[in-house]
Structure 1
Amino acid sequence: MLKRLLFIALLSTAARAQDAGPAKDDPSVPKDRDTVLRIQIFLDRNLFGPGKIDGAIGEFTYKAVVNYNYAHGHRDLYNWAHAQEAAEREVPVPYAAYKIKADLLPFVNPHLPEEPEEQAKFPFMAYRSLAELIAERFHTDESFLGLINPKKNMNTLKPGDIVVVPNVRSFRIEEVKPMQSYKSDPALSSHTIVIDTTERMAAVYSEREMMLAAFPITPGKPQFIPVGQWEVKSIMNTPSFRYDKQFLEEGVRGDEAYQLPPGPNSPVGIIWCGLSKSGIGLHGTALPRTIGRSRSAGCVRFANWDAIRLPQLIRPGSRVIVR
């Protein structure tokens, strides 16, 4: 089974190689932004994360197309036509209009500091702006929001404003139940998640070895990556986080640390999946635009909009293969 599970690495390598140039001449690869956006939305809806949704053809969009094709039995793995045809049916309109609601204001704090010692004094690691909240809500970033809303100032958004957003199933911070834990499940606990730290992808497989989902990740620093086979021991929403600069940089606990409150801007985001390897987990992030870069001491980061879907795919008891 392990040999088959690692097939994602081969697919991803080929997809990344295409990103270097040759695939840009492939007639199956769309050229216009709205078509790419529609495909990204379709892939995201079907649990093949393309990274941030921005209408641009990048490494993780290539990988999402390849993994989608593999999971659905298409032999021509690098052909975008399968995803494009399905996207045209399922995502006829790539944009939506979103009216900002006042009940989102408690999740925004423009005064949240950057320094951990100051953050520890706050009750919640909120978004720093409505633009940041809306960008994460619709699986994109503030730059793309500004691009598709050229007449709006993203720095002055307020309740009642209407913003154009990608037509994606939104990540709703207000629906994340604080401190909710997830129990083992006969079906979900039988699933396996493969963390490929070289390709920066995580793929979930069923007990019958069918690929169910694949998401971009940020792996830990190479010297701290816990290569091997582990098990999910716990899953919990909105964890607090012990910030220890020495541990993050050197992998050894230091004398000075700060207990940071929960929230979407926590370094571990809005969910924590603890592994049988002590101190290591799969979790969200405060910086979704950095997904794909090595920034931590061994843990595996997902964008919050992907991380929140993990309990629907894996549970305590699930096997975790890190390579």
Structure 2
Amino acid sequence: MANPFRNFITVLLLALTVAGASVSAQDPGPPKDDPTVPKDRDTVLRIQIFLDRNLFGPGKVDGAVGEFTYKAVVNYNYAHGRRDLYDWSEVQEAAEHEVPVPYAAYKIRADLVPYVNPHLPEEPEHQAKAPFMAYRSLQELIAERFHTDESFLAVINPGKNLNALKPGDIVVVPNVRPFKIEDVKPLASYKADPALSCNTIVIDTTERMAAVYNEKEMMLAAFPITPGKPEFIPVGQWEVKTIMNTPSFRYDKQFLEEGVRGTEAYQLPPGPNSPVGIIWCGLSKSGIGLHGTASPRTIGRSRSAGCVRFANWDAIRLPTIIRPGSKVIVR
């Protein structure tokens, strides 16, 4: 008997292939002589913020035209029916309208201090004894909160000692919708949803992108990812079984390196610096999930054992577009 979902899968894969046709994993970005690609940092930042707000993640927001900003523009154009997928002009115009001010001033609140532990150990055997996998500094917290990294914070805050931040200090940040760690409800789980559970997420391990489609085969969102090691990638069709905030994590070095469960492991507490970040989407493939990360700046570069990592600020948005029952296509 023919599989009624087969043609739908073919369309999904074809769509993602078309959207990223010239955007290989080694592609550094658009041609340097492309007149539609802006060169001004603030213009690029404004475009990144716009794309991020509209669920087309550019990776870290830093005012630079990198691989994932380029792919975000292509995917956004594809999703909105643009004829020229590589033309930045319409995206730039929309960004100038929606994001007139690319920077904001953020005053550090005292209630964020409990989410920071400068003494969080590096070794898993010691981390297992910690109560929470906290940020190691307010600088790290603010960088993740505003979808960027510490290096860009330093660029836009010249002369400020970001290593000595304290409550009451004011920091210039990208004007994104912040990822608020204090709003992540511990151990909250997400149930199936009549609409969201019908969406499909396609994990493209070559392009290092995850794209979400609805039942009408329309692309709704796309985010950069870090896929698993090639030998552990669970190619095929799966299903989201569970979605839960702030999971604990069984750190098993042998499993992470060899894909075989070891005898020595450590149960790490939850938190933004957990290896699985602040959310876990478990799949019908045992032991494999979509999850956050402790190192958002490494998204797209380093590899996990077999899971798929998102920046925490993207991972926390997954329950708004997929739910248990959603199909997951890994290719």
1:2 to 4, 9, 16: 9
Whichever residue aligns with residue 284 of structure 1, its letter is G
Conserved? CA contact 1:19–1:62, under 8 Å:
no
Distance 1:28 1:239, change over 3 A: same
Conserved? CA contact 1:48–1:68, under 8 Å:
yes
Whichever residue aligns with residue 95 of structure 1, its letter is Y
Conserved? CA contact 1:131–1:154, under 8 Å:
yes
How many aligned residue pairs are there? 323
Identity value in percent: 84
Shift of 1:5: 1.2
Shift of 1:12: 2.2
1:284 to 289, 292, 313: 292
Q: Distance in 1 between matches of 2:120 and 2:156?
A: 27
Whichever residue aligns with residue 216 of structure 1, its letter is P
Whichever residue aligns with residue 2 of structure 1, its letter is I
After TM superposition, the score normalised by the length of structure 2 is 0.96
Deviation by residue 1:117-151 (Cα, 9 ceiling, x = unmatched): 00000010000000000000000000000000012
Unmatched runs of 5 consecutive residues or more in structure 1: none
Higher mean C-alpha deviation, range 298-307 or range 6-15:
6-15
Deviation by residue 1:151-200 (Cα, 9 ceiling, x = unmatched): 20110000000000000000000000000000000000000000000100
Distance 1:29 1:85, change over 3 A: same
1:128 to 136, 147, 163: 136
Q: Distance in 2 between matches of 1:30 and 1:288?
A: 25
Distance 1:111 1:21, change over 3 A: closer
2:240 to 232, 243, 247: 232
Conserved? CA contact 1:9–1:199, under 8 Å:
no
Distance 1:96 1:50, change over 3 A: same
Whichever residue aligns with residue 3 of structure 1, its letter is T
Conserved? CA contact 2:227–2:307, under 8 Å:
yes
Equivalent residue for 1:194?
A: 202
Conserved? CA contact 2:29–2:65, under 8 Å:
no
Instruction: Please give the root-mean-square deviation of Cα atoms over the aligned residues, in Å.
Output: 1.2
Equivalent residue for 2:258?
A: 250
Whichever residue aligns with residue 58 of structure 1, its letter is G
2:215 to 207, 221, 229: 207
Deviation by residue 1:222-244 (Cα, 9 ceiling, x = unmatched): 00000000000000000000000
Distance 1:128 1:75, change over 3 A: same
Equivalent residue for 1:303?
A: 311
Whichever residue aligns with residue 163 of structure 2, its letter is N
After TM superposition, the score normalised by the length of structure 1 is 0.98
Q: How does 1:1-323 map to 2 (within 5 A)?
A: 1-6=8-13, 7-16=15-24, 19-20=27-28, 23-323=31-331
Whichever residue aligns with residue 11 of structure 2, its letter is R
Unmatched runs of 5 consecutive residues or more in structure 2: 1-7
Whichever residue aligns with residue 10 of structure 2, its letter is K
Conserved? CA contact 1:241–1:266, under 8 Å:
yes
SS, match of residue 15 in structure 1: coil
Conserved? CA contact 2:232–2:306, under 8 Å:
yes
Q: Distance in 1 between matches of 2:30 and 2:313?
A: 31
Higher mean C-alpha deviation, range 270-279 or range 16-25:
16-25
Q: Distance in 1 between matches of 2:25 and 2:240?
A: 32
Conserved? CA contact 1:15–1:78, under 8 Å:
no
Distance 1:79 1:17, change over 3 A: farther
Whichever residue aligns with residue 176 of structure 2, its letter is V
Shift of 1:82: 1.2
Conserved? CA contact 1:12–1:63, under 8 Å:
yes
Distance 1:277 1:34, change over 3 A: same
Shift of 1:20: 4.2
Conserved? CA contact 1:226–1:277, under 8 Å:
yes
